Structure 1
Amino acid sequence: MTLIDDYETGLAPLEFAVSRSLTAATPARREEILANPGFGTFFTDHMVDICWSVGGGWHRPRVQPYGPIALDPAAAVLHYGQEVFEGIKAYRHADGSVHTFRPDQNGRRLQRSARRLALPELPVPYFIQSLRELVAIDGAWVPSGEDQSLYLRPFMFAKEAFLGVRPANKVNYYVIASPAGVYFKGGVTPVSIWLSEDYARAGRGGTGAAKTGGNYAASLLPQSEAYEQGCDQVVFLDQDRNVEELGGMNIVFVYKDGTLVTPQSPSILEGVTRDSLLQLAEDRGHRVEGRQVTIDQWRADVASGDIVEVFACGTAAVVTPIGALKGRDFLDEQPAGTLALELRQELTDIQYGRIEDRHNWLLRLDA
């Protein structure tokens, strides 16, 4: 049984039942997939499943073969969208060991998301243990190629069959995993951003700070609009025309005095990757600010030369420079800099064990 690295809670580890897949991929097929995994296309042989109920709490933890989930047509998630998820990666180090990055932060963010969606809060030690239990079975799926990782997707949803509008009394938590290469097909190259002025990602008092599927569903139509405009991603504004975030990434502005500014709002999802990059920037002597930035200020500061670099960041893509901002009647080229890629290199070097982890962000999963 795997121990949990959080002794303050006093929680005993869960006792996982393990049922191995009878149709697991052969080693040859797995290696074929890992040679070119793409992103989110292929999945490992197993998944984690933990039940929750009002009367029983968290119970029946198990690792079972990856496959379809049986749902009653009246399951609350299908009607009211009571669902949250996370995204975190496992990295193969040169010595063959498998590590993940700041899982306590992802576990706490899952708790905050669950609280906002009226779902039960999975204890962080159980969150970490669920990752370890899956890697213990599917560790061979962690790739070793450059910029490759095993993308872990924990998620939780209301499974109770009930059409009344109230928090569900039965919930399930799952973890699935997908070997991943680079997020954008072109690799780490500057992307173009479409300014969405007709659609909002979230509103004041809404679910913007939660990692829940509805926020992403709301971004799909404007994202399609971005594609129609020849852009890679979409950026959203709040009702006061303050910049919020991209469809699935945070945004950071680099000013000529070395200050890094990231939009701050109660409706922005707190990014683990963003916060880590900003810490690394502070380590280098940069000042970091979280504050509101209007779209007009962004454009004016680029035009004046005050902003010297703009980049997006998130778990999937890590860091992506922004090369252009396009609106209905303008196209602003964004200044090119080097800091974003330098920070990306430093962060990934930590994640893959190539340099010292001075902040103790890594946690080994296969030990």
Structure 2
Amino acid sequence: MTTERAIAIAARVEDFVRTQIFPYESDPRRDHHGAPTDELVYEMREKARAAGVLPPHILPDGTHLTQRETATVLIASGLSPLGPLACNTMAPDEGNMYLIGHVASDDLKQRFLKPLVEGRARSAFFMTEPATMQGAGSDPSMMITTCRRDGNHWVVNGKKRFITGAQGAQVGIIMAKSEEEDSHGGACMFLVDLPDPAIRIDYVPNTIDTSMPGSHANVTIDNLRIPADQLLGQAGDGFKYAQVRLSPARLSHCMRWLGCCIRAQEIASDYANRRMAFGKLLIDHEGVGFMLAENMIELQQAQLMIDWCAGVLDTGSLGTVESSMAKVAVSEALMRIADRCVQVMGGTGVTDETVVEQIFREVRAFRIYDGPTEVHKWSLAKKIKRRWKEAHG
């Protein structure tokens, strides 16, 4: 169950998104990949600041809402694909703020977290690597980007791929495998100012989704020198910190895209209750009505799954099992919901006359981002095997 505090914040967020952000969905300020420009992002954020919803899930004293409370608020911000950008609840910034807030020193928080929380900077999380025979891809344990000590600096070399928001970001979190013996082959994380000449954006591919500024860049890191005091946490603990970030971040994705699919259902339902075909409203045709009914059921199931996983995270658990289950169940359900909304609206559903078409594309990408469905299922299957072996010797 959420709280009255969260319900009140979410109501303000929903009113702001519906009244001030929906009109921006047709704004032409997009880059050549179709993503919103920084000009558009920061203009919306100024409006969010004036409305007192920037960011809505981090309180004035710097503390966060609980995960269950955050769910209520982030779902409301997700009613538009632009809503999380405006309210500063979007990936990768939301997850990066969470990680820095939990791991960084006070000095690093002041330098790197403060501008992010204020919505005056964007950030990028440099973890994913090209899926070569050796590269990490979806498996961070195969990371080949390295870091080594050199006096009072660390030197980082490697390649990263699909780094969301790298183009135009001011804050970076870089993950690299340590070559130092006392790190026992673990990973390190570093906070860096961007742009940096040692971090080269090689290529920004066009992708199916278009909601994130800077899109998803391929990057080369060439002898990047990072002052030792910009190490995030302890050397060798990078994989542990990755889970601190990724488990809540997966759930936050579920929250935001649930909001989008609630919106798609609203649009499709309105269409079905106005459009006549074969002598009656579409909603009165069983095939159409049943699709919207199935959506209603799965939206509620997704909400319950998010609430359950959020409750686990609120106990202080890393919740890796639970977040994997939520990521699979919610992303797959939202894909079915978005697909049915497109189908109900027919030709209109595949045009940019409504936001339904974009929501369909964004949710399709969500089935891959933060770990494809199959990777999470494989991870869960390994845990099932381990538990069986523990129970049966």
Taking structure 2 as the reference length, the TM-score comes to 0.28
Taking structure 1 as the reference length, the TM-score comes to 0.29
Q: Name the one with the larger strand percent.
A: 1
Specify which structure has the bigger relative contact order, considering alpha-carbon pairs within 8 angstroms and separated by 6 or more residues. 1
Q: Name the one with the larger helix percent.
A: 2
